[in-house]
Amino acid sequence: MQVRLCCQALPTTTASSIFPRECGKQQYQPIKGRIVGGTHAHPNSWPWQVRIHADGGLCGGTLIDTRHVLTAAHCLRTPIVPEKYLVYIGLHDINQPVYNEQQIVAEKIFMHEQYNTLTSENDIAIIRLSKPVTISDKINVICLPGPEAHNA
């Protein structure tokens, strides 16, 4: 099976390389399944959530495999200089770094070719990390839908 998320320059990968272990599993359960009134999340209950930092700006992203983060294109500043983007993995509270947190610099950034800054159409990008993330009970990749999924 081949997976193409976006971006012609990004090579496709096989499913076996995307999911090094069970994806989408939470070792620590969230308080609620979705944001309702801004409730707090239990530490590490969303192990695929990452923080993206560049030039004082903050954004979030999702770890889709050990080397790639899915994010919004509007989070990235042009001209894009990948080395300016630092991705924090395993961080629960941005004001309280923890020992198991990983910080990895971006190696390459792929913005959707048809991203429109005026309409926000195709507001999607992928960040390739300079090295693989170490998966643990607090850091994991999210599951992507299979080829049978339609209109998900």
CB 118 within 8 Å of CB 125? no
* Distant-in-sequence, close-in-space partners of 138: CB < 8 Å, separation ≥ 6: 27, 28, 43, 44, 47, 90, 100
Work out the end-to-end distance of the chain between its first and last CA atoms, rounded to an integer number of angstroms: 18
- pLDDT of 64 higher than 60: yes
Q: Range of 94's domain?
A: 50-129
Q: How much is the average pLDDT of 25-51?
A: 71
In terms of phi and psi (left: phi > 0; alpha: psi -120 to 50; beta: otherwise), the region of 16 is alpha
The reply to whether 8 falls in a domain is no
The reply to whether 152 falls in a domain is no
Q: pLDDT (tens digit, 9 = 90+) per residue, 128-143? A: 999 999 999 889 999 8
Which is it for the CA torsion 53, 103, 49, 99, positive or negative? negative
Q: pLDDT (tens digit, 9 = 90+) per residue, 89-139? A: 998 877 776 777 899 999 999 999 999 999 999 999 999 999 999 999 889
CATH number of the domain that residue 91 is part of? 2.40.10.10
> What's the pTM?
0.75
* Residue located via tokens 């159409």: 121
Q: Please state the domain count of the chain.
A: 1
CA pair distance 103, 129, nearest whole angstrom: 10
